Amino acid sequence: MVDLYHKIYDGEVFQQSQCIAQENTLMDFFRNMLSALGYESVLQNHKVWRKNNRTAVICLVDDVSTCSQDYSRTLPYLFDANTVVITDNKITVPTQYIVRQLPTSFFGIYHYRPATSQWQPNRRLNFSVNRLDTKRLLLMLEIWHRCRLNPELSSLDYINFNCWSWSGDNSTTQGLQSNFVREWQSLDAIYHSVYQQSFDELAPRMPLLNHDLTHEQSHVSSWLNVVAETYSSDSNIALSEKIFRAMCLPVPWIVYSGKHTVAYLRSLGFDVLPDLVTHCYDSVIENKTAAYGDKMVDFVFDGTDAVTRMRGQDFEQLRLRTAQAASHNQNVLATMRSRWPADFAAWLPTVIQVL
């Protein structure tokens, strides 16, 4: 099996927006600036820099917690008081370190207008995942579990679950299955007690791909797109192309991300289709119960419930509503992209003065 992980960058959102190139250009700018100010890189990924007793952290798109080497610390105390964090993350708790959040117009790097944009749903959910981690595994297990409990709702979904792992064998089917099993074994006992049968059914089918559509085609062929952002937290919101791609398509969506991500997107002016999807999971914490009241369970329930309701509505009205939302969101990102140079120029001195 060929390692398909990096083929995700062939997708429409990457090709049209060139978001990766823009992100890398900005990272290079910050690194050159810090070097000119006398800072030296202390990590191989060049995200943490030091000058005497001062520390600077650059974290774009990734969650800032990935830049800490002390996993026992909570977000407010992740770094000491002599640290400046430069990030696009929305940190929702007080911190003892200084945070300089990028202007939100940074998200304009994800602006694009999809060529594949005709919504013609014939399956319930679209769930496409390349990289395996605990939360994505739990989402797959919860979706499968709910279908088993409610067979009348289990009209075939579009599933592409590839089990790619940074530390595993991604070149063979056996290696990808081993990645899946290893991630399962790392789960807490409560999950084993709830999802054991689902795991037993899924493991031999991995990597699971039950359609021959392109990534873009699967998005517009489902009633609902299930977006799993790379990181989720009760106190931080880290966004990537995943959610912006979904919002630029005329298809309803749900997003598993940091607490209040949907509220944050709405505050930025995006249309989150609240009349079609309640997004009630947005305020729920991750409490590891695998029962109603846990974010993972409420998230999947909210999505499947939205599909049930939409199937009973006038589809042409739905098509008009989602097309309106997609066009609006594309325009919001276009405005952000045009504002970014001036916003960045005004923001940068506030960073330099604290470095």
Query: Domain map of the chain by residue range?
Result: 15-105+339-352, 123-329
Report the sign of the C-alpha dihedral through residues 138, 142, 148, 154, in that order. negative
The per-residue pLDDT for 155 is 56
Residue 1 has pLDDT above 70, yes or no: no
CATH class name, domain 123-329:
alpha beta
Using one digit for the tens of pLDDT, what is the confidence trace for 147-165?
875 554 445 899 999 999 9
pLDDT classification of 95: cutoffs 50, 70, 90: very high
The per-residue pLDDT for 195 is 96
Using one digit for the tens of pLDDT, what is the confidence trace for 308-343?
999 999 999 999 999 999 999 999 999 999 999 999
pTM for this one? 0.94
